[in-house]
Amino acid sequence: MQDKSKIYRVIDVNLNRSREGLRVCEEVARFILNNKPITARFKTLRHDIQKIILTSNIKVSLLHSARNVKADCQREFSFLERKTDLESIFFANIQRTKESLRVLEEFFKLFDEKTAEKFKCLRFKIYQLEKDSR
């Protein structure tokens, strides 16, 4: 049997990662591009992640209790890729978002197919939004 707390830990990390990535992209759209419709789409998708998790069959408290930052073997990994321009900041964060949504999709397949499908749909919306943001 799988240790669910380890799975919850992966989910927790990737929920945070996906929302953080979207927030950075939202800020680029809002303050750099000054594009209200694109900004609104990023914000909506960020909020959609929260709605998905709240309607899943997993309690947020279980995710929080599985969080273990001190035990993260990559915590001390301090390589930070230097961003050279706004486009590289946007690209890195949209990639982070897509990758984390894929992780959420895969791990939810273990116990909640409906939620896995919602993350898949959200990932495809991000692909389109990335295209529309350029």
Give tens-digit pLDDT for 30-75. 999 999 999 999 999 999 999 999 999 999 999 998 887 767 666 6
Domain boundaries, the chain: 4-65+83-132
CA 90, 37, 22, 103 dihedral sign is negative
Calculate ∠ Cα 95-97-101, nearest 5°: 120
Residue 68 CA, chain-centre distance (Å), reads 18
What is the value of pTM for the model shown? 0.90
C-alpha dist (Å) from residue 17 to 2, 33, 108: 23, 23, 16
